[in-house]
Amino acid sequence: MTVFMSSCGFRAMMSLVLLLLVAAEVTCRSHTHSPPHARCEPGCDCPGDLRITTCSRALFTQLPGRVPSNTELLDLSDNHISVIPQRSFSNNRKLRVLLLQNNNISVVEDSSFSQLEFLQKLDLSWNRISVLTEGFSIGLAFLRELQLAHNYLSSLDSRSFLHLDGLQRLNLTSNRIQTIHVRSFSSMSTLRQLHLEDNQLTSLKSGIFSMLRSLEVLNLAGNLISGTDNGVFKPLTSMTLLNMADNQLSVVNFKTLLNIHTYSTHILLEGNPWNCDCDLQRVFRKLRSIQRLFLDDYSNLTCKAPPVLQDYLLMDVENELCIAETVTVLIITVTVVITVLAAMLMGERKRKKRRRALHWTHQEDLSDESDH
């Protein structure tokens, strides 16, 4: 009986131990593999409590499948990803920052980011994007910063940034942009910085910046701009910095710059092939007398033409540019003065003659009367 009892107790004990072991195993597994760790893709680093997932330089050719759902910053930079498929981030709706720079992305499918309603920064620079379709920006109403430098964009139109209502900074440096259609930036009334340096713009048409009333910085350096429409900067009433350095300007359009209606704006113009003649000197003199405009690098402007003045600083030759004109004006003035004086003299002489004649007739009349 006792033997039976003890063997029974032993069995019961064994089952209990087994049960405990299984339980321990389960708890152990759930400790090491419970979210977020259970959902970290090999090649990524997911310190879950920081809400950061880093998958940089992981040789990915497509987006990783398993990213912890509480991730707020996802770093996928320096991989070989080439396509961003539709609704790619439906399990990561808490993302605030998404870094995709230095990949091989040429296709961003429509609605790729549409579920990222909290996304504030998106970095797509150093990729191969050549087209932005309307679907690209769907759902990105709270995006504040979009980095698209070093891509292959050649033209912007009204669909490119359609849904980016809250954007503050847009970086399009070093693309191949030749054309900006009117209304390309029409949804961006909150944009504060627009970087278009190192593109291939040749002119600036009225209307392309028409809705950018919050824009503070407009960087157009390193393009091929040789002309600007008179009203192109007129809508930019908050602009504090306009950088047009290193373009193809040889003359300065006075009306374009006069049309900048701001409290104060700094304008950079060096590195342009200025045609240093009297007109240029006059326009710059007028511009420099406008209180709200600051031509910060005026002392660095160099002449490209005429050939005798090539590489001279405009500031060093400006006093001589209008000498020929001054001499001409002087000759004309002197001629006019002489002509007028001569005319006056002639007139005076004629008048005197007439008065003398009148005098004589009057006296003759009087003598006639006295004869009677």
Ligand X SMILES: *[C@@H]1O[C@H](CO)[C@@H](O)[C@H](O)[C@H]1NC(C)=O
Q: What are phi and psi of 305, to 5 degrees?
A: -135, 160
Q: 143, 84, 150: which is closest to 111 by C-alpha?
A: 84
Q: Three-class SS of residue 23?
A: helix
CB of 41 to ligand X, least distance (A): 18
**Please, which residue, 205 or 266, has the CB nearer to ligand X?**
266
**Please, which residue, 150 or 163, has the CB nearer to ligand X?**
150
**Please, which residue, 94 or 144, has the CB nearer to ligand X?**
144
**In angstroms, how far is CA 82 from the centroid of its own chain?**
27
CB of 267 to ligand X, least distance (A): 11
Q: How far is CA 190 from CA 70, 120, 166, 234, 346, in A?
A: 29, 14, 6, 17, 71
CB of 347 to ligand X, least distance (A): 58
CB of 270 to ligand X, least distance (A): 6
Cβ pair 112, 143 in contact under 8 A: no
* Angle at the Cα of 165 from the Cα atoms of 164 and 167, rounded to 5 degrees: 65
Q: What are phi and psi of 217, to 5 degrees?
A: -120, 120
CB of 172 to ligand X, least distance (A): 8
Six token digits for residue 237: 């009433």
**Please, which residue, 193 or 253, has the CB nearer to ligand X?**
193
Partners of 89 in the β-ladder = none
Q: Which residues contact 137 (CB under 8 A, 6 or more apart)?
A: 113, 143, 160, 161, 162, 163, 164
Q: What are phi and psi of 63, to 5 degrees?
A: -65, 140
CB of 61 to ligand X, least distance (A): 6
The site for ligand X (CB under 6 A) is made up of 80, 82, 104, 106, 125, 147, 149-150, 171, 173, 193, 195, 296-297, 300
Instruction: Render the burial of 309-323: b for 16+ CB within 10 Å, e for the rest.
Output: beebebeeebeebbe
CB of 101 to ligand X, least distance (A): 7
Cβ pair 212, 185 in contact under 8 A: yes
Q: Which residues contact 105 (CB under 8 A, 6 or more apart)?
A: 81, 82, 83, 84, 124, 127, 128, 129
**Please, which residue, 46 or 164, has the CB nearer to ligand X?**
164
**Please, which residue, 46 or 156, has the CB nearer to ligand X?**
156
How far, in Å, CA of 280 to CA of 287, rounded?
10
Using DSSP bridges, classify how beta strands 121-123 and 97-99 pair: parallel, antiparallel or unpaired: parallel
CB of 255 to ligand X, least distance (A): 25
**Please, which residue, 60 or 233, has the CB nearer to ligand X?**
60
Cβ pair 175, 151 in contact under 8 A: yes
**Please, which residue, 44 or 221, has the CB nearer to ligand X?**
221
Cβ pair 39, 69 in contact under 8 A: yes
CB of 48 to ligand X, least distance (A): 30
CB of 299 to ligand X, least distance (A): 7
**Please, which residue, 297 or 325, has the CB nearer to ligand X?**
297
**Please, which residue, 115 or 125, has the CB nearer to ligand X?**
125
Cβ pair 200, 224 in contact under 8 A: yes
